[in-house]
Amino acid sequence: MANCIRCGRQLPGFSFGKKICQWCVQHEAYQRGEIVEDAKQPVMRTPWARSGESSIGLTQIIFGINVAVFLAMVVDTLIHTYEPASTLMAFSVPQSIHWGANIGVLTFSGEWWRLVTNIFVHGGLLHIAFNMWALWNLGVLCESLYGRWTYATIYLICGLGASLASAAWHPYRPSVGASGAIFGLAGALIAALKLGEFSVPRSALTGTLRSLGAFVVYSLLFGFLPGIDNTAHIGGLVTGLMVGALIALIAPQQDQAPRRIAVFLVIILALAGGAIAAGRHYTFPLRLGRSPFAIGEIGPPYRPIHAPPQKRYI
């Protein structure tokens, strides 16, 4: 079976050579103004749609996990007393650390799981609302183009890259939020679309890249406001650009699983090397398991873990 050279849809039988599907023919004619606006567009299955998959997408599952953690923290706030007092709009620093915030002095000294858990923890209602809005828009697009398992791996690896950058840049300030991983999705999509990984109409490609670029620029500018962890944003974006570029160049097709796994392993090993280097730079005891330092502990060369008191939102 031949595929459309514009969008990748499968063409009818006995279609050989470089052909364009009926959907793209009419779409491009509409873009040139050659057909009326209310003309009926043929319904054709998108090239990345798969039959037999659950109607619940992975983006919805990630969305649900973030909301579930947020609601659990709300219940925790009602049950326990934290200093300073937590509210629905902003959880306290000790509570965020308890729920898995990323803070270098703990992360590099044994609690490596914080590099992942912090991307499912948010600082308050407005924080999670903005991040989930961005996740819903970027996640659905990324999942439809990459497929579920690749999308899930990209999301987690970009979250790791964002968390590592944050912990290495300010190891004594806790950081929470999914936006580092979300920036990674934007970076992966920009690299993939720019390098021509997906066959989509030029008009759609240009519009998507323009939207992604605007999201990244405005979000980075917004990230310079006090209390926002722009380091994690940049770390996630750079990681996403690297992953997206390598997949586009080495394993652009979804059936090239071994090559994609190799790409992911290379990125993970690079991040692991960066984590070890950062830990040694700050002379933290590199180990696995519970960190030997308690919240608020003071002693050279370490400062109080929750000082300065404000946490960073990502």
Which residues participate in catalysis according to the annotation? 179, 233
Question: Residue 102: beta bridge partners?
Answer: 175
Structure tokens of 306?
Answer: 């929750």
Helices (H), 46-147: 58-79, 93-98, 104-107, 114-117, 125-146
Instruction: State the DSSP H helix or E strand holding residue 272, giving kind and residue range, or none if neither.
Output: helix 257-281
Q: How far apart (Å, rounded) are the C-alpha atoms in residues 60 and 312?
A: 25
φ, ψ of residue 26 to 5 degrees: the values are -70, -35
| DSSP 8-state class, residue 38 | T
Q: Are 92 and 84 in contact (CB under 8 A)?
A: yes
> Which residues, 6 or more positions from 64, have their beta carbon under 8 angstroms from its beta carbon?
none
Question: Residue 302: beta bridge partners?
Answer: 299
Structure tokens of 116?
Answer: 């992942």
Peptide bond into 300 cis (omega under 30): no
Q: Indicate the burial class of 152 (C-beta count within 10 angstroms; 0-12, 13-18, 19 or more).
A: middle
Q: Comparing C-alpha atoms, which of 225, 221, 150 is closest to residue 185?
A: 150
Q: How far apart (Å, rounded) are the C-alpha atoms in residues 55 and 259?
A: 28
Structure tokens of 123?
Answer: 């600082």
Question: Residue 233: beta bridge partners?
Answer: none
CB count within 10 Å of CB 104 equals 26
Structure tokens of 253?
Answer: 């097709």
